[in-house]
C-alpha cells in the first residue's frame, strides 16, 4: 500500500532547493586547497562578516568544524576542555577530542534549558599546577539539540564569558557549537554577530535546517582559521572544486535563513495541537518548544518511545476511515525518533510545509487518542 510520508526524524533530511541546484550547476570553481575557488572564498568571507569575525573555513561537517576548533584552541597535548554532558561534541562525535586531538574532556551536567551551572564551571577551571591538565577551552552549544532545540539566552552567555575571561592562569578560549545558531538568533531576534560576539570561534551547519546538502563553516580570527585550514588538510578535509557545495551555502544564507522563523511557528503548531488533546499518556511542555525541535514525553508506564515511533509509522485501516489521509486518499506515516526511552523527538525543516504539518497533527491525534482510549488515566 502506498503511503504519504511526513519525515520528522531530523533537519538533516532537508533537500537542496531548486535554486540551490541551479546555483551549484553554474558555480565558478577552482582548487580550494590552493585557495582558488572563488565561490568558496565568497561564502567564507560572507559568513565571517555576518558573524563579525575575520575569516571563515568551509569544512565537510559540523563534527569536523568542532574537531578543528578543539585542535587549534588546545595546542598542547593533555589540554582539557569543559563542555556540557549532553552536548553533541561529548555524545556524538566519537570522542574525537580524545581520539584525534589528544584532549581530555571535563563535563558539566546540562540542565534541561541547555545551560550548565556557571558555579560548576568556575570550580572546573584548573589552576596552574604541575599536577593538573591545562584548561584550554569551553564549548557551548546553541541551540541545544538534546535539550530540545533550546535557545541558550544571551544573558547566560554574557555571564559565562565574563567568568571565563576573569579566570586567572593561562587564557581559555571559547567555542560555540552553533550547528543551529541561526535558529537561536531567529528565536531571540538577535543577530548571530551579537550572539557570538565574545566567542573565539563558531561552527555553523549549512546542511541542517539551512537546507544545503553538505558542509559546515568555521569562523574566527585570521590566525585561528589559518591553523584550522592546516589541520583540515591533515584530517583529510582539503577539498578541491568544492564551490559546487559552497554555492548551495550561499543560497542558504540568502534565502533559507530568513525563513527559519516559519519552521519554529509550525513546530509550535504541532506542539499546541498535541497539548490541546490533554492526554494523560503523551504530553508536551509548550514553553520548552522554542525552535524547530519538539519533544513528546510519554507518561504512560506501559509505553516506550520505540513503540510510539512504530505506531506513528503504521497505517491501520480504521485510521483511513477516520480521515487520517492526504488529499489523494493515502494513509499517513509520520517518522520520528525515540531519543530516549520515554520521549520522541520531532524536527521540522524547510521542506515540511503547512500541508504536512496538518497531516502530522492528524496522525498524532489519532494515535494519541487510541492511547487515551486504552489507558484513560495514567496509574
- Kindly list the residues in this chain that would bind ligand PLP in the complex (CB under 6 A): 61-63, 66, 88, 141, 145, 177, 179, 205, 207, 216
- Name 333's bridge partners: 5
Cβ-based nearer residue to ligand PLP, 84 or 243 = 84
Strand order in the sheet with 104-108: 55-59, 216-220, 201-205, 173-177, 134-141, 79-84, 104-108
Helix axis angle for 305-313 and 354-374, nearest 10°, is 120
- Minimum CB separation of residue 93 from ligand PLP in Å reads 7
Task: Considering the complex, state which of residue 210 and residue 324 has its C-beta at the smaller distance from ligand PLP.
Answer: 210
Q: At what angle do helices 62-73 and 222-234 cross, to 10 degrees?
A: 120
Q: Find the shortest distance in angstroms from Cβ 220 to ligand PLP.
A: 16
Rounded CA-CA distance 159/362 in Å is 43
Which residue number, 66 or 291, has a Cβ lying nearer to ligand PLP?
A: 66
To the nearest whole angstrom, how small is the minimum distance from the Cβ of residue 62 to ligand PLP? 3
CB atoms within 10 A of CB 250: 22
CA distance 150 to 51: 21
| Spatial CA neighbour of 150 closest among 184, 119, 100 | 184
Give 179 or 274: the residue with its C-beta nearer to ligand PLP.
179
Shortest Cβ distance from residue 89 to ligand PLP (Å)? 7
Query: Closest separation between CB of residue 13 and ligand PLP, Å?
Result: 12
Closer residue to ligand PLP (CB): 24 or 212: 212
Measured at CB, which residue is nearest to ligand PLP? 62
Q: Give least dist CB 142 to ligand PLP, A.
A: 9
Q: State the cell numbers at 54.
A: 575575520
Are residues 121 and 69 in contact, defined by beta-carbon separation less than 8 angstroms? no
Helix, strand or coil, per DSSP, at residue 163: helix
Q: How far is the CB of 87 from ligand PLP (least distance, A)?
A: 7
For residues 201 and 218, give the distance between their C-alpha atoms in angstroms, rounded to a whole number: 7
Closer CB to ligand PLP, 86 or 300, in the complex: 86
Which residues share a beta bridge with 4?
332
| Cα Rg of the chain, angstroms | 22
What is the maximum alpha-carbon separation in the chain?
72
Residue among 103 and 179 whose Cβ is closer to ligand PLP: 179
Report the nearest approach of ligand PLP to the CB of residue 267 (Å). 16
Euclidean distance between CA atoms 139 and 116, whole angstroms: 11
Closest to ligand PLP by CB, 86 vs 279, is 86
Cell, residue 317: 485501516
C-alpha cell at 173: 578560549
Amino acid at each position: 500500500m502506498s503511503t504519504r510520508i511526513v519525515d520528522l526524524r531530523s533537519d538533516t533530511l532537508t533537500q537542496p532547493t531548486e535554486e540551490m541546484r541551479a546555483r551549484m550547476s553554474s558555480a565558478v570553481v577552482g582548487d580550494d586547497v590552493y585557495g582558488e575557488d572563488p565561490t568558496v572564498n565568497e561564502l567564507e568571507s560572507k559568513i565571517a562578516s555576518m558573524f563579525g569575525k575575520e575569516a571563515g573555513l568551509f569544512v565537510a561537517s559540523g563534527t569536523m568544524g568542532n574537531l578543528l576548533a578543539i585542535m587549534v584552541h588546545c595546542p598542547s597535548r593533555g589540554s582539557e576542555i569543559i563542555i556540557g554532558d549532553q552536548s553533541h561534541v561529548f555524545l556524538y562525535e566519537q570522542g574525537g577530542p580524545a581520539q584525534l586531538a589528544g584532549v581530555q574532556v571535563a563535563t558539566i551536567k546540562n540542565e534541561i534549558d541547555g545551560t550548565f551551572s556557571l558555579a560548576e564551571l568556575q570550580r572546573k577551571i584548573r589552576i596552574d599546577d604541575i599536577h593538573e591538565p591545562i584548561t584550554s577551552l569551553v564549548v557551548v552549544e546553541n541551540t541545544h539539540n538534546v535539550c530540545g532545540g533550546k535557545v541558550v539566552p544571551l544573558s547566560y552567555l554574557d555571564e559565562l564569558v565574563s567568568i571565563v575571561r576573569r579566570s586567572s592562569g593561562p587564557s581559555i578560549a571559547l567555542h560555540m557549537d552553533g550547528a543551529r545558531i541561526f535558529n537561536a538568533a531567529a528565536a531571540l531576534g538577535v543577530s548571530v554577530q551579537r550572539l557570538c560576539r565574545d566567542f573565539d570561534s563558531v561552527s555553523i551547519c549549512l546542511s541542517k535546517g539551512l537546507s544545503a546538502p553538505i558542509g559546515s563553516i568555521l569562523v574566527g580570527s585570521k590566525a585561528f582559521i589559518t591553523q584550522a585550514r592546516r589541520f583540515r588538510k591533515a584530517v583529510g578535509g582539503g577539498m578541491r572544486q568544492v564551490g559546487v557545495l559552497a554555492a548551495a551555502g550561499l543560497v542558504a544564507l540568502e534565502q533559507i535563513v530568513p525563513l527559519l522563523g516559519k519552521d519554529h511557528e509550525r513546530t509550535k503548531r504541532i506542539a499546541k495541537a498535541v497539548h490541546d488533546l490533554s492526554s494523560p499518556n503523551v504530553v508536551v511542555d509548550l514553553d520548552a518548544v522554542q525552535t524547530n525541535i519538539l519533544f513528546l514525553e510519554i507518561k504512560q508506564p506501559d509505553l516506550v518511545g520505540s513503540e510510539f515511533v512504530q505506531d506513528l509509522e503504521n497505517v491501520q485501516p480504521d485510521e483511513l476511515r477516520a480521515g487520517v489521509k492526504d488529499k489523494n486518499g493515502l494513509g499517513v506515516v509520520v517518522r520520528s525518533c525515540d531519543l530516549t526511552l520515554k520521549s520522541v523527538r520531532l524536527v521540522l525543516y524547510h521542506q515540511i510545509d503547512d500541508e504536512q504539518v496538518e497531516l502530522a497533527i492528524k496522525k498524532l491525534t489519532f494515535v494519541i487518542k487510541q492511547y487515551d482510549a486504552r489507558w484513560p488515566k495514567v496509574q
